[in-house]
Amino acid sequence: MKETLSIKVSPAEKQLLRQAARARGLGLSALLREGLKAVVQPALGGGGPSCYELARHYFEHPGSLGASAHGDLSTNKARLRDFGRKSKW
């Protein structure tokens, strides 16, 4: 069951909340619940995105920083045959 929580805000803050709620298609209560989760969960060490999730777009798309057309090179024995050995050149 949901409980009621009262907060005090200035008229300007209330107007900002209304504008943000309207822009997101939410009511004030739903907006404040989302904001509360966004602040509290990371502070408690849970629910936030991982480092990988934040940087995923750098690694998954071809042409990105860590992406290649070769896939996982560690599974290709031919490519790893001379890995770590001195070059003949």
The per-residue DSSP string of 8-48 comes to: ---HHHHHHHHHHHHHHT--HHHHHHHHHHHHHHHHTT-SS
Residue 17 lies in a domain: yes
pLDDT, mean of each 10-residue run, the chain (89 residues): 90 96 93 90 72 77 60 71 70
Please indicate, yes or no, if residue 45 is contained in any of the structural domains: yes
CB atoms near residue 80 (< 10 Å) = 11
Is residue 83 a part of any domain in this protein?
no
Tell me the three state secondary structure of residue 51: helix
Q: Please give the tally of structural domains in the chain.
A: 1
* pLDDT of amino acid 61: 66
Would 85 be classed as within a structural domain?
no
Q: Distance between alpha carbon 26 and the CA centroid of its chain, in Å?
A: 22
Q: Does residue 54 form part of some domain? A: yes
Instruction: Residue 59: give the domain boundaries.
Output: 11-71
Measure the CA–CA gap between 20 and 38, rounded to whole angstroms.
15
Q: What is the pLDDT of residue 52?
A: 77
